[in-house]
Structures are given as C-alpha cells and as structure tokens.
Amino acid sequence: MKRSIAVARLWLEVNSFSPVPTALADFEAKEWLIGPETLPLFAGTPTELGAVEAFSRENPAWDVQVLRCAAADPGGPMEEALFERFLADLERGLSGRRWDAVYLSLHGALITQARTTPDIDILKLVRCIVGAIPIGASFDMHGNIGPEMASLVDVFAGYKTLPHLDMDVVAAKVLKLTVQAVEGRIKPVGAVARPRCILHSFNMRTSDGPMKELEEFAAARTVHPILDITPYGGFPYADSPFTGASVMVCADGDADAARRVAEEVAAEIKRLSPQFAVERPGARAGLEQARSVTGGPVAVLESGDNTYSGGIADTTGLFQALLVFDPQEPAVFAYFHDPELAERAHATGVGKVIECKLGGRVAPEYGVPVAVRAEIVRLTEGTFKNSGPMQRGVEAQMGRSVLLRVGQIEIVVTSKRLPVNDLGYFEQLGVDPRQVKYLCVKTKNHFRAAFAPLCASIVEVDTPGPAGIDLSKMPYRHANKADLV
Ligand SMILES: [Zn+2]
C-alpha cells in the first residue's frame, strides 16, 4: 500500500510595526493554492514546492497530497480571520484519514493581528490532529524560533544561504529525513537554543562576514548523530517573545548531543553578534554626506520605509529633512503612496499649482504630514515594462501617478505601492535619474541591481519608520529589548 504525506505551507515574513495588514489579495498575488494542480506550477523551481514536486515524481510509493499552500511578500500582520481560514483549511485537509507523515513549509517570522507565535499554533494543530507520526518542517533563515518548536516537530531545518538560494535543498533534506523517520531508519530528536540577541539583517549575507562564519561553524559540527544544524538570524521587525537569533539542531536518537551542539552554536552566535550591529547617519547628516560627493547622482536610501521590509511609502523623515536642506541641485524623492492625491492632481492638470499634504497619511507616528505648494509637472497612468536586470520585460504598475515639484525637488506620488527597482519607474515620469544630484528613494537592497551602476555613491540614512534602523526606537511589545545588539 502507498504511504501518504500531507504538505501544507504558510510563508510570510511580518513587520509588526506596519499599520497595513496582509490580506487575501496579497496572498492571491503570490501564492494561494490547494490540491493537485499546485505542484506542476513549481516543477523545476528552487522553492520548497519545487522540492515537493521532485519528491512526488521520484517516489511513486508515496501519495503526496497538497493541502493549503500560501505565501505573500513581506508585509504587516496577517489578517486574523484569514489566518483562521488557513487553519480551517489545514484541519479539513488533515482530518478523516490516516497519514504516514506531514511536511510543512513555514517562515518562522509570521505574526497575525492577534497572535505573536502563529507558527507554533500551526504546529500544535497539526500535532493534535495527526498524533505521533513524523512531522517535518522547514523555515526561513529570518525565522524567530521558539524553543517549543523542538518538541512539536520531528525533523526540521532552515535556509543556510542569503540570498535564499537553497529553499529547495532544505525542503528536500527535510522530506528525506522525514521519510527515513517513517521507515524507522532514524529517530529524530531536536533542540532549540536562543543566544538572546536581536540581530540586524544588513550583515546576514552568507557570502562573507559573520553569518558565513556561523554557517561554517555549524556545518563542521553536522556529523553523526547530528542530522542538521541551522543557525537562524531572525527578523527584528517581527515582534514576538522569540524575536532574535536562534539555532535548531536535529539529531538521530541523541537528545543530549542535540542540546549540547545547540548551546555551542548559540554561544558562537552571541560571540559574533557585535558584528551584526549597524549604524547609519540621520537624514540631514546623510544629505550633507551626499552633497560632499563630487558628481552624481548620489542615492540617499530611506530603508526604514522600504516596502519590501514592511514599509508603507508614507513616512516623512527623509522628505522633511530634504525640504529643510533645500538642495541647490536637482533632487528626486520617490515616493509617497497616496491614491487620493494622485487623483486630485489628475483632476487639476499639468502646469497648475496644488496645495497638499505629503506623507503621514497612514502612520503619522512615523512623521506628521508635510504641507507643500507644488507644481504639477507630469501625470501618468503608471504602467511600464521593467528594463531590468530584475524582472526584465515584466510589466510593472504604480497606478495613476503624478510628479510634483517644489523648488529643486521633484516628488513622485503613486496610487499603488511599487518598489523602485527599475529605471522604467522614473523614465515613464519623464525623469532621467542620471541628471539628478540627490536620488532619494525608500528602498534597501533590490534598488541596487539597476541603480548602483549609475550612482556616484549610495548613502543609507536612518529615519523613523516600520523598518527603522535604530531598533531601540521600535515600539516592541513582546520582544525583550535587553536582547538588542
Ligand atoms: Zn528570509
């Protein structure tokens, strides 16, 4: 008789400090799937579901059933009702039949509107329904891992690369070990240790630096009876009792060894933790630094409101400073998300002057709205084709948009939140970023692929926002601020 494995997934990195919840539409835009049509969509992709697809092809003795699979880009807390719907889908899928194993693809930094550790709630529910069969789970390197997970899951592992290029490798390993557990060839036991430090992700790349050292330290200790060691950097903006770095160890039959190695790796994380600390200048100091650079453009990046880190294109820290700085050379500010203002500008017309308030619309706690009298320079419908390198040829939509001007500053206001990753963004507004001295953008990393080659320099500034750099200023309610590095 065939053996059966249930597969489910909920993958979302949450910024607790974003006032905009993550809703069904956000999942539908990326992944909200169920049933047998799911796996073919991921065939050959370096993703967890790509690994499941390969597993089901290569293991005909296994009946692979895909239950609810959901993933969205990083954002604010998941809507509570939607999370409950996910749990209901999971329960319905698991109930009423006997399973040999379960594989779950989780993130580890999920937060919902009412829960700080929903990943643990998912694991508890699954354990409660399926009983004592092997459960395997994989996590993102940015997961904030609670010790309880070790007792709820049999086999677990997380990504060991940043950028995350090993999602499929990690999932395949978890599937393989889970099958071995079903077959009685291994007796997986686990341990989680937490070094009590909340780390920034700036220095978490694994090509060089402290995270590379940690991965090598862990890999050197992954010898029998240790099956897997994953150091987790954690995600500082997901506010939970377990915010911060951790290590998960999975061992074959030797719980003491798992615990001992977990403590050893945790101590190494603690030792290296100062190397993850970052400091950036404030907005004014950053703009002065940009002025001192010969030539241009100089990109001034406001990562505290980067939409890929849970930002909302609404904070005013950098913009307010730019107004006061009063640049004597051309500057562009991208961008504010304000559909109403964009609509009003379209109704007013090019060449007219408009009195308006910029930013501070959704989250005035990160900076109150800034009143300006601005000239309407250009109006667009906001659709363009990415010129690359990221997503070359793919259509991008920023919605009805307007380019405003105050003195030397041109300001982009859009109807949709679209990260500034492509030159097409500015070109369709009639702006040539090469002719600008100060290229002020709410972004962090992805911007660099297209823009770094044409910038004379890039300055990152620290301003208040959902993804602010100074973590001591973040309004934590659950994490232990004493763990900040
Ligand atoms: Zn991650």
Measured in Å, residue 140 CA sits from the centre of ligand 1 at 5
Residues 257 and 288 in one domain: no
pLDDT of the residue at 73: 87
pLDDT of the residue at 395: 84
Measured in Å, residue 161 CA sits from the centre of ligand 1 at 9
Measured in Å, residue 12 CA sits from the centre of ligand 1 at 9
Measured in Å, residue 29 CA sits from the centre of ligand 1 at 19
Residues 14 and 152 in one domain: yes
Domain assignment present for residue 425? The answer is: yes
Measured in Å, residue 108 CA sits from the centre of ligand 1 at 9
Measured in Å, residue 386 CA sits from the centre of ligand 1 at 24
Residues 243 and 326 in one domain: no
Measured in Å, residue 393 CA sits from the centre of ligand 1 at 26
Measured in Å, residue 214 CA sits from the centre of ligand 1 at 16
Measured in Å, residue 184 CA sits from the centre of ligand 1 at 33
Sign of CA dihedral 343, 348, 351, 352: negative
Domain assignment present for residue 24? The answer is: yes
Q: Tell me: cis bond preceding 335? Omega within 30 of 0 counts.
A: yes
Measured in Å, residue 158 CA sits from the centre of ligand 1 at 10
Measured in Å, residue 143 CA sits from the centre of ligand 1 at 7
**Which of the listed residues 248, 276, 304 is the one where a domain comes to its end?**
276
pLDDT of the residue at 250: 98
Among candidates 106, 120, 113, which has minimal Cα distance to 16? 113
Domain assignment present for residue 291? The answer is: yes
Residues (pLDDT < 50) of the chain are none
Measured in Å, residue 233 CA sits from the centre of ligand 1 at 9
Residues 266 and 348 in one domain: no
Domain assignment present for residue 481? The answer is: no
Q: pLDDT by residue (tens digit) across 191-200?
A: 999 999 999 9
Query: Could you write out the three-class secondary structure of the chain?
Result: CCEEEEEEEEECCECCCCCCCECHHHHHCCEEECCCCCHHHHCCCCCHHHHHHHHHHHCCCEEEEEEEEEECCCECCECHHHHHHHHHHHHHHHCCCCCCEEEEEECCCCCECCCCCHHHHHHHHHHHHHCCCCEEEEECCCCCCCCCHHHHCCEEEECCCCCCCCHHHHHHHHHHHHHHHHCCCCCEEEEEECCCCECCCCCCCCCCCHHHHHHHHHHHCCCCCEEEEEEECCCCCCCCCCCCCEEEEEEECCHHHHHHHHHHHHHHHHHHHHHHCCCCCCHHHHHHHHHCCCCCCEEEEEHHHCHHHCCCCCCCHHHHHHHHHCCCCCEEEEEEECHHHHHHHHHHCCCCEEEEEECCCCCHHHCCCEEEEEEEEEEECCEEECCCCCCCCCEEECCCEEEEEECCEEEEEECCCCCCCCHHHHHCCCCCHHHCCEEEECCCCCCHHHHHHHCCEEEEECCCCCCCCCHHHCCCCCCCHHHEC
Residues pairing with 53 in the sheet: none
Contact 60, 17 (CB under 8 A): no
Domain assignment present for residue 241? The answer is: yes
Retrieve residue 140's tokens. 């993102």
Residues 407 and 263 in one domain: no
Measured in Å, residue 320 CA sits from the centre of ligand 1 at 31
**Which of the listed residues 210, 241, 276 is the one where a domain comes to its end?**
276
Measured in Å, residue 141 CA sits from the centre of ligand 1 at 5
Measured in Å, residue 480 CA sits from the centre of ligand 1 at 21
Residues 80 and 225 in one domain: yes
Measured in Å, residue 73 CA sits from the centre of ligand 1 at 11
Tokens 């060089």 belong to: 208
Residues 271 and 316 in one domain: no
Measured in Å, residue 201 CA sits from the centre of ligand 1 at 9
pLDDT of the residue at 202: 82
Residues 110 and 225 in one domain: yes
Say how many CA atoms lie within 13 Å of 341 toward its Cβ: 28
Measured in Å, residue 142 CA sits from the centre of ligand 1 at 5
Among candidates 324, 395, 311, which has minimal Cα distance to 359? 311
**Which of the listed residues 241, 258, 276 is the one where a domain comes to its end?**
276
Domain assignment present for residue 453? The answer is: yes
pLDDT of the residue at 462: 95
Residues 240 and 372 in one domain: no
Measured in Å, residue 258 CA sits from the centre of ligand 1 at 24
Residues 85 and 109 in one domain: yes
Measured in Å, residue 164 CA sits from the centre of ligand 1 at 7
Mean pLDDT of the chain: 96
CA of residue 272 relative to chain centroid, distance:
23
Residues 381 and 270 in one domain: no
Look up the domain containing 328 and give its range.
283-468
Q: What are phi and psi of 385, to 5 degrees?
A: -100, 130
Domain assignment present for residue 370? The answer is: yes
Measured in Å, residue 188 CA sits from the centre of ligand 1 at 25
Please tell me the distance from the alpha carbon of residue 154 to that of residue 151, in angstroms, as a whole number.
7
Measured in Å, residue 159 CA sits from the centre of ligand 1 at 8
Name residue 211's amino acid.
M
CATH of the domain at 62: 3.40.50.2300
Measured in Å, residue 79 CA sits from the centre of ligand 1 at 21
Retrieve residue 77's tokens. 């807390």
Pairing assessment for the beta strands 457-461 and 246-252 based on DSSP bridges: unpaired
pLDDT of the residue at 446: 78
Measured in Å, residue 163 CA sits from the centre of ligand 1 at 8
Residues 330 and 448 in one domain: yes
Q: pLDDT by residue (tens digit) across 401-459?
A: 999 999 999 999 999 998 898 999 999 999 999 999 999 999 987 788 899 999 999 99
Among candidates 303, 269, 266, which has minimal Cα distance to 283? 303
Domain assignment present for residue 473? The answer is: no
Domain count, the chain: 2
